[in-house]
Amino acid sequence: MTTPAEEQKFDFIRELIANDLTAKNLPQGVVTRFPPEPNGYLHIGHAKSICLNFGVAQEFDGRCHLRFDDTNPSKEDDEYVESIKKDIAWLGWDWGEHLHFASDYFETLYQYAVTLIGQGKAYVDDLTQEEIRAGRGTLTSPGEESPYRGRSVAENLDLFGKMRAGEFSEGARVLRAKIDMTSGNLNMRDPVLYRIVDAPHHRTGTEWRIYPMYDFGHGQSDSIEGITHSLCTMEFEDHRPLYDWVLDSLGLYHPQQIEFARLNISYTILSKRKLLQLVQDGHVSGWDDPRMPTISGLRRRGYPPEAIRNFCDKIGIAKRPNTVELALLEHSARDYLNQHASRVLGVLRPLKVIIDNYPEGQSEELEGINNPESPEAGTRMVPFSGELYIEQDDFMEDPPSKYNRLAPGREVRLRYGYFITCINADKDPVTGEVTAIHCAYDPETRGGQSPDGRKVRGTIHWVSAAHSLPAVVRLYETLFSEEHPDDADDFLTVLNEDSLKVITGCQVEASLKDASPGDNFQFERLGYFCMDEVDSKPGALVFNRTVPLRDTWSR
Ligand code: ATP
Ligand code: MG
């Protein structure tokens, strides 16, 4: 991995951990965990948490667990488990032996709940979900105690056992902690610990009828695994007293929960629920649609894992919420790909160029530099002949004076190749549309220099008509037209209708026949592109534009 990991990272979490390592007895070293719920694909926000948890463990010579928080069977699926594992490994992180599932602890968690009941700190409540919600009170008014709060330990134990045995239907009863209905913290007003769910679990099948709530399962799972620092996002700050209360009540090993700000990105939605809706309603082609902010979408778009990790390093870790510019993510891709992507020539909207003075039937090979940023990338041979394609917009019949490209009587340089001068254009007699242009080349300018020191104003890209390969190219814009799509009443109303443009009839240079799906290229002057992992086939190449180039060498 070539992330600048050696650069010392510094933030309040790393500072706190460094202090704990000297002040506390942590014989096992630092142990963190990344705890996704397998109810969707990972997105770039998760990458922030992954890079923090795995990064901290690596820097402090500790370890990071991957723990699936699979406590809600109605929304979870193995497809998600597999995609999450694949994405984390692709980002370059390794959980080693420590792949865990909250469902591995269901029996232990159940026994913890029994212990709490025995202590008189939990009770079975027959109120409905709505009644419980209504009885919780508000920030300014206290909650009301449930009429079932006074049940005896014996009765609670009996009812909880029956909940487990499947004697009650979903929603009929819950287990609640008995804390304080007047607490200023709503999470402490007798929160629900267990509920009945009538859905098969992706790992335990129909063995369990009751499932722990996040607030009960999470801290106890952290404790079982010996997590030292449980890093989570700010919305759990108000849950920390409950996290602490349960662990302290049970007298268990007590990890430290620390909160940090979620990642938000402009023009982007990072809510699994909303992303799922985009997939289910067909607004995108799937979780891996290249417009999606998912790891699988970014991968298919052409983002290298290093670019994502560099981005996560750059944004840093803090408590204050903020929105990062999408441009920063794109910059990370450009920055990495500039160093690592081979340059190639491809024409998106071809215009035929006939070189009138080039010997008929002849062709030759010109040497192209694969990456000026990295000489070790070497060179390749690019076929040249008397019939080429250039971009339609690199020719104008009647150009303004500032136009530096081809026009009748004007001379330009072909990348790696000759100077050509435009003579005239062929037109469709009916529409008047230019169908081809005729040029003359200067054989003395091979390699792009003229022996008489003559200058040209522009350099354009091209491919040889007979040698190039047909391709489809997809250009993207942001998926949302608003900078803060979450602010809209309905985020679907701010979808950008122009987020995908499919360009057929493109022509790309011959060397791309050896490329593999997932390979990154810079199409000179057009941006960075990735051969599509799903749709590209030999003979029917498909490229996704990862990001445009900000600067082009032709200006
Ligand atoms: P849900 O609403 O389903 O809980 P979630 O995005 O929190 O969605 P989880 O699978 O619970 O999904 O997330 C796993 C971890 O990733 C959590 O620790 C969470 O704090 C972290 N995480 C999720 N979204 C972001 C984000 N935008 N920025 C940073 N961390 C995030
Ligand atoms: Mg969550």
User: Ligand 2 centroid to 37 CA: how many Å?
Assistant: 7
SS3 track for 178-208: CCCCCCCCHHHCCCEEEEECCCCECCCECCC
Q: What is the pLDDT of residue 555?
A: 38
Q: What is the pLDDT of residue 475?
A: 98
Q: In whole angstroms, what is the distance from residue 112 CA to residue 246 CA? A: 9
Residue 262 annotated among the catalytic residues of the structure: yes
**For helices 214-224 and 106-118, what crossing angle results, to 10°?**
110
User: Ligand 2 centroid to 188 CA: how many Å?
Assistant: 19
35 CA: nearest ligand 1 atom: 14
Check pocket membership of 49 for ligand 1, CB cut-off 6 A.
Answer: yes
User: Ligand 2 centroid to 135 CA: how many Å?
Assistant: 25
Q: What is the pLDDT of residue 26?
A: 86
Among 32, 33, 34, 37, say which to mutate for ligand 1: greatest number of ligand atoms within 8 Å of CB: 37
Ligand nearest to the CA of 215: 2
Check pocket membership of 272 for ligand 1, CB cut-off 6 A.
Answer: yes
Contacts 24+ apart (CB under 8 A), 82-88: 83/41, 83/42, 83/287, 83/296, 84/36, 84/38, 84/41, 84/42, 86/296, 87/41, 87/42, 87/295, 87/296, 87/299, 88/34, 88/42, 88/50, 88/54
Residue 37 annotated among the catalytic residues of the structure: yes
Q: In whole angstroms, what is the distance from residue 446 CA to residue 264 CA? A: 51
3-state DSSP assignment of residue 166 = coil
Q: Identify the active-site residue in 176, 272, 410, 413.
A: 272
Q: What is the pLDDT of residue 2?
A: 39
Check pocket membership of 237 for ligand 1, CB cut-off 6 A.
Answer: no
DSSP states along 96-162: TT-EEEGGGGHHHHHHHHHHHHHTT-EEEE-S-HHHHHHHT--SSS-----TTTT--HHHHHHHHHH
User: Ligand 2 centroid to 97 CA: how many Å?
Assistant: 23
DSSP states along 489-540: SSGGGGB-TTSEEEEEEEEE-GGGGG--TT-EEEETTTEEEEE-TTT-BTTB
Per-residue pLDDT of the chain (555 residues; tens, 9 = 90+): 434 445 678 999 999 999 999 888 788 899 999 999 999 999 999 999 999 999 999 999 999 999 999 999 999 999 999 999 999 999 999 999 999 999 999 999 999 999 999 999 999 999 999 999 999 999 999 999 999 999 999 999 999 999 999 999 999 999 999 999 999 999 999 999 999 999 999 999 999 999 999 999 999 999 999 999 999 999 999 999 999 999 999 999 999 999 999 999 999 999 999 999 999 999 999 999 999 999 999 999 999 999 999 999 999 999 999 899 999 999 999 999 999 999 999 999 999 999 999 999 999 999 999 999 999 999 999 999 999 999 999 999 999 999 999 999 999 999 999 999 999 999 999 999 999 999 999 999 998 999 999 999 899 999 999 999 999 999 999 999 999 999 999 999 999 999 999 999 999 999 999 999 999 999 999 999 999 999 999 999 999 999 999 743 333
Q: What is the pLDDT of residue 354?
A: 98
Residue 319 annotated among the catalytic residues of the structure: no
Check pocket membership of 38 for ligand 1, CB cut-off 6 A.
Answer: no
Q: What is the pLDDT of residue 27?
A: 82
520, burial (CB in 10 Å: exposed 0-12, middle 13-18, buried 19+):
buried
235 CA: nearest ligand 1 atom: 20
Q: What is the pLDDT of residue 7?
A: 60
Q: Compute φ and ψ for 434, nearest 5 degrees.
A: -70, 125
User: Ligand 1 centroid to 501 CA: how many Å?
Assistant: 31
**For helices 12-23 and 44-59, what crossing angle results, to 10°?**
30
Q: Identify the active-site residue in 9, 37, 477, 483.
A: 37
Task: Write the Ramachandran bin of 111: left for phi over 0, alpha for psi from -120 to 50, otherwise beta.
Answer: alpha
* Residue 354 near residue 435 (C-beta atoms within 8 A): no
Which residue has the CA at smallest separation from atom 26 of ligand 1? 45
